[in-house]
Structure formats: C-alpha cells, structure tokens
Structure 1
C-alpha cells in the first residue's frame, strides 16, 4: 500500500495530486543533505502572502502584558511578546477567534484548516508569528481563545468560525476551506485542548458536516488532561529539554505518547527549548521548522517533509536539534 493510501486510511482525508499542487505548490521529494535540520529547511516564509484583520502591539503596553513579558524573559525568551487587545491585555472581549488566510486564496482550489489554541492565560497575539508562517505555507488558520484555553470547546469555536466563513458568499473564504484536511494544534493548555479535539471530533465530524475530517494533531508541550489511548489520528508531540512546566518525561510520555496505540505518533524533545519558546521569535523556537514540516506532510503529503517522519531512514532522529526522538509502531509501519 502506498504512503498516501495509508495516510488516507489513518486520517480519512481524501487527498489528490491536483489538490496538493493547487493548494500548496509542493514539489516532489528533494535530496536532503546529511545533517540538514528541519529548522534549517522549513523555518521560512512560504509562497503565500498573509491576510488577516488581526492587529498586534507589544504586550508590555498593558500592566498584565508587562507581567507576562517579564515572566517569559525570566524563562529565557529572547524576543518581546506581541498581544492583541483581548482582555486582560486590553478592553476587547476575552473570548473570540482570530482568522488568518492566504491573501491569494482566490487563486487556490482550497486550503487546509489549522485550528490552533494557545496556552492558559495567553493572549492570541502571542502566536501571531506562528500563524503567519503557517498561512504562508498554504493553511487557513484560526486561533480561538477564551483566556483559559484548556478544553475542547475552545478549538470547537475555531472550527465553527471556519465553517461559517466557508459557507458565507460574502467571505473571501467562501468554499475555499478544505474541511477534509482539518488539523488541531495547540500549545500548553491549548495542546491539551487540541488532543481532546483530536479525540472527540473524528467521532462526531460527520454529524457536524459531512465534509469535516480530522487529519491529525500538533501538540506542543501539552497539558495533562488528554489520554493517548483515545486518540485515533496522527499526532506529533513537540516537547522542550528546558521545559520545567511540561517536562518531556512526565505525562506527555506517560499517558499521552506512550498510550497512543490507534494512530501514528511521534515525540521530539528539542534542546534549548523552554515552555515559553513557542511564543518567542521563529528563529528562537527551534521546533518551528519541524512543525511546518509535519503540517506540510500531514495536510499536503509533501514528500520532502515526509522524509523527516516516514520510512526506515527517517531523518528526525538524526536532527541535531533534538535530544530524543521516537515514533510508535503505527508510525513505523508507514512507508
């Protein structure tokens, strides 16, 4: 069975070569030189310009944001945080969804959906750089938030917002979102919420919308309220060697990665990455390139990205960015 056939079986996502080329402009696999890291290859701006109504400002412009700014720098962050005006960083509603999409989406057949939920007490503007990078690689990205960001109803808000836009003739996203390639992602508490969504949505997707399919989950330093044995879609766990909030050796392995038996799963522990590195600059968050590679592999079936995750000679274990990299039996079986 081919790789794409296996991936369709695991994720129930119908991919075609036409959709891949039209949506992302991806190419056949390229030779990757020994020692090349996912960060060096994929931590870049993709070919698509970004459109959004989201506006950010330095977090330290508010008292609450100043506290957040000081905390992340104490944990080793290099760059200043960016925030929106969502309360308590401003006077706008603490509950909402920020949407980003390729500005050239009218020229695309469609685009996969990434629903990404931030950490507890975070501001959605802190993930603005990551969202823009993912959009530049061909995704529609929704960032749902309610300040707590810990349970599956938050990513559900992101899905609902995307579905409404996809059905609205006045929206630039009208009939342009491929709900059949929906990925849930999140950081910290939001990573836990993404895992919950990856558990629940595949079971109810057809009742919500016949087109809705969950392609997989990107869980970045996730919280403990999710269990791997319940997850039935491909999942990448990204952890940090310097993360003392969500240590790689704790629940991320105990009852999340180690108990993921029903679908392919990977876990990668990055050197020099702390719990707050995902809200640092893209160059400072050393797993940002791996996240892009995984998303391109998962949603587009890109063969160059695939080499980091699939096959007997998969590249991620040789990536010097990581202290440790593992995959489960289901991921081993992919070829």
Structure 2
C-alpha cells in the first residue's frame, strides 16, 4: 500500500448456504455474517487519527474507496510495536470442533486493522484467523510468524485456542505484498508442514492482487487469484497472469477479475469490496467442503462465469478436471 501511495503522490463447519437462485452473485449469497460471535483482543480506531493514517485515508478515498478504514495502534499508525500478530476466532469455539486456520498477511505498508472487517467475517464463519504484520508484509517470514503464533496458541493449555485449531486445514491468504507472501508460503510450507506439526496440512492459497515476487509454478496447493478491473498497481494482465496464474500447473487454480475493484478495495467496507463473497465462498469450499460454495468453482456448470460481478474468470486444467 505504501508503495502505491508514493506512486500516486508523485503522479467448525458452518451451515451450508441456501442454494442460490439463477443469476445471483457470490457477493449476494456469501457476503453475510456467519453464525458465530467473534472474539479478539484487537482494538481499532479510525485510521485518520494519525498523520500516517490520514495520508492513507485521503489517498484511498481519492482512488475510489467509500468507507473509512480502521487501524490499530501499530507503528506508524500509533506507538505500538510495528511487529505482531492479530488473532480472531469464534467466541463459542469451546463448544465447536477444532477450527480451520487462515493465516492472512496485510499489504505492503498497510495496517493490520484495515482488514478487521474481513477477519471478523471469516471468524464468524468458523475460522481462526491470524494476521501477522511488520509493515513490509511481503516475504514468507511474515506468514511464518502467523503459523508460529497459531501453533503456540493451539498447544498452550491457558489459551482459549488450546486444541481448537485444526492445522490439517491451514490456508494462507494475503493482499498485495501479503498476497505475494501467501504465494511464497504456498511454495514453502506444503513440504515442511509435517515438521512443524504432524497434523499440519496446507489446503490452499487466497492471493488477492498479489505482488510480483512469487511464481505460480512453485505453488503446489489450490490457489484462487483475485484481481480488480480498476487495479493499476497489480493489473490483471500483468505478472499475476504472466508468471503466477498462467504457470500454475501443480495444483488447481482460478483467477477472477471483478468489475469496479481497485487495488485498495480490500480495505473498503465489505459491501463495497465486491470480492468479499467470492473469497468467503472459496474459503468455505476449501476448509469445509461447502457444496453450494463449491458449485461456484467446480463442475462443468460452475457458477462463477455467470456471475455478473466479473469481467473475466478462468480456471486451469487441474481445476477444470475437478468434480
């Protein structure tokens, strides 16, 4: 995010969703709160309460965002440590089976609180969500910090997440530089997961407008690339296709380019970020086997191509062969 601002300045399985009517969008079906209340120690405030946050606030609104962003006090938006991990989980997790883990990395220069609404939605649908951050948020050691935090919590008898994280259903996600880091994690972690924990298995990668320092040919787990028609920072026609999606031949991969989505839309409100429903549908499909969600991605009549939200959608041969 910071790099783009500089450029501008200089120039437990939840219930399966009801079967949607023909012509409905993933956004209208899945962009809804889940059945679980959310627990988190994270506290946010309007980003414009700091000088750095005010600059970010002005820029994203000039570039089309409609809602005000939220931030934590992590430096430079406040005086808290610039390095850490924010955790969200279902408040009723003690009554649920172990929950899948989503390790989501913020964009370059973005404050982790900007993804608070997304994290809360995912947690309300039964995920344990960890958001590791250290300002740059662009290399694999950042999601590794999230994994370490989750593993420690799952093994700590004093943690509410003790024995409540299902590492067998680990998904990496991220936006911009964080999407790049998530793809790097999808390259590195599948081969070493069992050495971290015998139960750990990487189920997929959610790469939202990812940076260029990742190669699709090296990712060995199912991957969804989300791009934006109005994104001039990570254009759909650039590296996200050239050496990421187009070179994804080890595992099923999808790419969806949404109309009206810019590079900063993921830090807008849930209703104004038009990929929100699609991201949740894919997560539910990968983590819970949700059949309605799966129908948007799998089968000869997969629903995503008919979804009017998208300018274009594609899937590779391995995704095409799924049933």
**TM-score under structure 2 normalisation?**
0.96
Q: 2 CA distance for matches of 1:125 and 1:31?
A: 33
1:332 correspondence with 2:311: no
The corresponding residue for 1:303 is 291
The corresponding residue for 1:63 is 51
1:115 correspondence with 2:103: yes
Q: 1 CA distance for matches of 2:50 and 2:78?
A: 7
The corresponding residue for 2:79 is 91
The corresponding residue for 1:171 is 159
Cα displacement (A) at 1:109: 1.1
Q: 2 CA distance for matches of 1:94 and 1:192?
A: 20
Q: 2 CA distance for matches of 1:30 and 1:286?
A: 20
Q: 2 CA distance for matches of 1:74 and 1:121?
A: 18
The corresponding residue for 1:7 is none
Q: Deviations over 1:118-148 (max 9, x none)?
A: 1001000000000000000100000000000
* SS of aligned partner of 1:126: helix
CA RMSD of aligned residues (A): 0.7
The corresponding residue for 2:15 is 26
* SS of aligned partner of 2:171: strand
Aligned residues: 312
Structure 1 gap ranges (5+): 1-22
Cα displacement (A) at 1:150: 0.4
Q: 1 CA distance for matches of 2:288 and 2:241?
A: 28
Contact kept, 8 Å, 2:14 with 2:34, in 1: the verdict is: no
Cα displacement (A) at 1:30: 4.7
Cα displacement (A) at 1:31: 3.3
Q: 1 CA distance for matches of 2:110 and 2:19?
A: 39
The corresponding residue for 1:134 is 122
Contact kept, 8 Å, 2:112 with 2:133, in 1: the verdict is: yes
Cα displacement (A) at 1:328: 0.2
Q: 1 CA distance for matches of 2:61 and 2:181?
A: 25
Q: 1 CA distance for matches of 2:122 and 2:215?
A: 27
1:320 correspondence with 2:303: no
The corresponding residue for 1:225 is 213
Q: Deviations over 1:198-254 (max 9, x none)?
A: 110001111111111100000000000000000100000000000000000000000
The corresponding residue for 2:195 is 207
Q: 2 CA distance for matches of 1:121 and 1:129?
A: 18
Match runs of 1:47-62 below 5 Å: 47-62=35-50
Cα displacement (A) at 1:183: 0.3
1:288 correspondence with 2:276: yes
The corresponding residue for 1:271 is 259
